[in-house]
A and B are shown apart, each in its own frame.
Chain A
């Protein structure tokens, strides 16, 4: 028994860290979202839910996150299919390169897109030269511009999550299906995709959450101008004159609830995939 108590000493600092730098801040945030100067209030939530501007921010964030997640999923679903043909060492090298690009996010990524598509970006000039006005007038600092950046940081994550799911589809199943007369297309439609589906849903919700919480790229590109939830929270908490920390807390709590739902969905579907594979 004493030995178990001795062991507990090793866990204690970890618990203290989690408490101080995770649980306490989140609790304070929740409390602050319900507090007015002198007491309890639902006012901040009421304000969030009736503010057109903040709701617009949620809508923009949700569409941006969902669309970027779906596009990244579709591209990587096919790309992983192509990758599976390579030998294992080559595949691992491809994954390593993809991991390298997964570090390329936030401010550096925003800058890279400015080089390519900013006002005097490489492609912007190229399109001007070719006289394709519709493309030359493309604005990086808009919803579609942000979408390109978001797709970029979703791709490596999507690849990393989908690869093991594909890996689980066994060659024997394909052989068995082929022996029984199924075409490749039939195999994927009737067997492959249904087995992978929970995993794909799980990947989608991780990607969705990933984009919902992203802040740096959008901030670097548009400052506080483009209306996204994360940007709104940042502006509300750090604004020098107009800081409204209680309102920021309420928006952050609502974003947190969205994120937790997305993560629970992914946990559930990952468990389901494991059972299948």
Chain B
């Protein structure tokens, strides 16, 4: 019994450690002045409204959405069909996708940035395209996981065979039967990928730099100039991540529920 208390202490510490920085940053976004006192001197909406009146923030936000959303869209268009085909028709090659997933984990942004610069910086390719392409590859683990789990939970192969047996063409079986069944898992994977890319800093900063100012680069600039604006950016970022995480967990729950039926 005593050991439980010991473990509970660690759990409590974990929660405290994970939440304290978030709460403090959120509070800072609404603090009038917080340099000399332990708690803020007063509360205000000034910083948030200043942030939303700053057109360079709005533009940076737009760029982040465009870049991350574009990469996720490309992954859905080109990577998901490939995973479908390999898992359903060439299962013996699936281990190659798994190997690719591990390799993507093994080469983080800072390494990939060196490669992208060495390969494409001197041949006239717009570097933002190189980053976009690298983003598509870097979310492979989440896209693969999302696709694979939902294919497994709906027994995709049997589902397709049954549809074809009943007279549906391959394309019909795919779009009318399989896609709606795996949609929640796929969508959850896409949102997770989006939220990961939205927080990406290394590749965009090293390869493109401030020529394409995303939210993360905007935040980095504000870090040294205005703490209040920086914390407002983090506040907005956290709210967005919170919404995305909530939707993802709802979708995952739903696709799990569907699998049980």
| Residue in A78, A115, A237 whose beta carbon sits within 8 Å of that of B7 in the complex | A78
Instruction: Give chain B interface residues in 83-127, CB to chain A under 8 Å.
Output: 83-86, 89-90, 100, 102-120
Which of A105, A122, A159, A263 has the most B CB atoms < 10 Å from its CB?
A122
Interfacial chain B residues near A220, Cβ < 8 Å: 220, 223
Q: A28-B115, A107-B223, A116-B24 are in contact. Are A267 and B102 (CB under 8 A)?
A: yes
| Residue in B14, B110, B237, B241 whose beta carbon sits within 8 Å of that of A233 in the complex | B110
Interfacial chain B residues near A120, Cβ < 8 Å: 35-36
| Residue in A79, A104, A107 whose beta carbon sits within 8 Å of that of B238 in the complex | A104
| Residue in A79, A100, A111, A215 whose beta carbon sits within 8 Å of that of B234 in the complex | A111
Are B216 and A107 in contact (CB-based, < 8 A)?
A: yes
Interface residues on B, range: 35 or more
Chain A nearest CB: distance from B117 CB in Å?
Answer: 6
Are A122 and B24 in contact (CB-based, < 8 A)?
A: yes
Are A245 and B17 in contact (CB-based, < 8 A)?
A: no
- Docked pose: A92 CA to B248 CA in angstroms: 13
Are A17 and B230 in contact (CB-based, < 8 A)?
A: no
Interface residues in chain B, defined as those with a beta carbon under 8 Å from any beta carbon in chain A? 3-4, 6-11, 13-14, 17-22, 24-25, 28, 35-38, 74, 77-79, 81-86, 89-90, 100, 102-120, 130, 133-134, 136-137, 195-196, 199-202, 206, 209, 216, 219-220, 223, 227, 230-231, 233-234, 237-238, 241-242, 245-246, 248-249, 253
Starting from the known contacts A25-B119, A111-B234, A112-B21, 5 additional A-B residue pairs (CB-CB under 8 Å) come to: A24-B119, A26-B115, A116-B20, A215-B202, A216-B216
| Residue in A101, A106, A252 whose beta carbon sits within 8 Å of that of B216 in the complex | A106
Chain B nearest CB: distance from A257 CB in Å?
Answer: 9
Instruction: Tell me, yes or no, whether A192 is within 8 Å of chain B by CB.
Output: no
Which of B81, B100, B107 has the most A CB atoms < 10 Å from its CB?
B107
- Docked pose: A219 CA to B25 CA in angstroms: 19
Q: How many A-B residue pairs have CB under 8 A?
A: 242
- Docked pose: A267 CA to B99 CA in angstroms: 10
Are A83 and B110 in contact (CB-based, < 8 A)?
A: no
Closest chain A residue, CB of each to CB of B125: A20
- Docked pose: A25 CA to B19 CA in angstroms: 39
Interfacial chain A residues near B17, Cβ < 8 Å: 151-152, 155
Closest chain B residue, CB of each to CB of A217: B201
Instruction: Give chain A interface residues in 180-226, CB to chain B under 8 Å.
Output: 184-185, 206, 209, 212-216, 219-220
Are A105 and B199 in contact (CB-based, < 8 A)?
A: yes
Chain B nearest CB: distance from A64 CB in Å?
Answer: 15
- Docked pose: A103 CA to B216 CA in angstroms: 13
| Residue in A11, A129, A230 whose beta carbon sits within 8 Å of that of B82 in the complex | A11
Are A233 and B111 in contact (CB-based, < 8 A)?
A: yes
- Docked pose: A85 CA to B100 CA in angstroms: 37
- Docked pose: A27 CA to B114 CA in angstroms: 11
A127-160 near B? 1/0 per residue, CB < 8 Å:
0010000000000000000000001100110010
Which of B119, B136, B199 has the most A CB atoms < 10 Å from its CB?
B119
Instruction: Tell me, yes or no, whether A242 is within 8 Å of chain B by CB.
Output: no
Are A29 and B115 in contact (CB-based, < 8 A)?
A: yes
- Docked pose: A101 CA to B20 CA in angstroms: 11
Chain B nearest CB: distance from A130 CB in Å?
Answer: 10
